[in-house]
């Protein structure tokens, strides 16, 4: 079995966030960090070179593949901000309809800037995603 390429690192999440460019994206990333800390109650951890994770979970699929991954988090990418709602099985259409301007992948939510979305709805989505994840796999705080 292959291992996940994205793993937690010992690098500082705070240092990573402080270095995000441009300044507008850094401000949004710092605001997201505060939001995730408030919703989860957990400290951030850098996963791979650019993912800020809150909590973790261990999964074992029917195929036998298993691994660890961040429970929720975000990445301030060049083109957009990406929020990770793991593992992406639940239908959160009712919440997403109220979120604001975004695009959706299987376990990823993309938006250009924090001003494009309703932060209180994002908080609701993060909590719903964590609740759904915890109903499937044990979630550990970070």
Would you kindly state where each structural domain of the chain is located, as residue ranges? 13-137
| Residue 85 near residue 54 (C-beta atoms within 8 A) | no
The 10s digit of each residue's pLDDT in 25-60 is 999 999 999 999 999 999 999 999 999 999 999 988
CA dihedral 16→32→113→133, nearest 10 degrees, is 110
Domain at 13-137, CATH from 3.90.1150.10, 3.40.1710.10, 2.60.120.10, 3.90.1150.200: 3.90.1150.200
What tens digit of pLDDT does each residue of 56-113 get?
Answer: 999 888 888 888 999 999 999 999 999 999 777 788 999 999 999 999 988 899 999 9
What is the pTM for the complete model shown? 0.93
Counting Cα atoms < 13 Å in the Cβ hemisphere of 102 gives 23
Interatomic CA distance for residues 45 and 10, integer angstroms: 8
End-to-end CA separation in angstroms for the chain: 26
């Amino acid at each position: 079995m292959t291992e996940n390429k994205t793993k937690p690192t010992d690098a500082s999440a705070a240092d990573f966030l402080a270095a995000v460019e441009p300044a507008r994206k850094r401000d949004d990333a710092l605001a997201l960090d505060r939001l995730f800390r408030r919703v989860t109650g957990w400290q951030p951890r850098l996963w791979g070179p650019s993912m800020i994770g809150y909590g973790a979970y261990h999964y074992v699929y029917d195929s036998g593949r298993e691994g660890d991954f961040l429970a929720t988090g975000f990445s301030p990418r060049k083109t957009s901000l990406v929020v990770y709602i793991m593992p992406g099985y639940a239908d959160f259409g009712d919440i997403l309809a109220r979120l604001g301007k975004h695009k959706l992948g299987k376990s990823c939510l993309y938006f250009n800037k924090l001003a494009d979305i309703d932060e209180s709805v994002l908080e609701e989505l993060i909590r719903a995603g964590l609740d759904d994840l915890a109903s499937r796999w044990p979630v550990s705080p970070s």
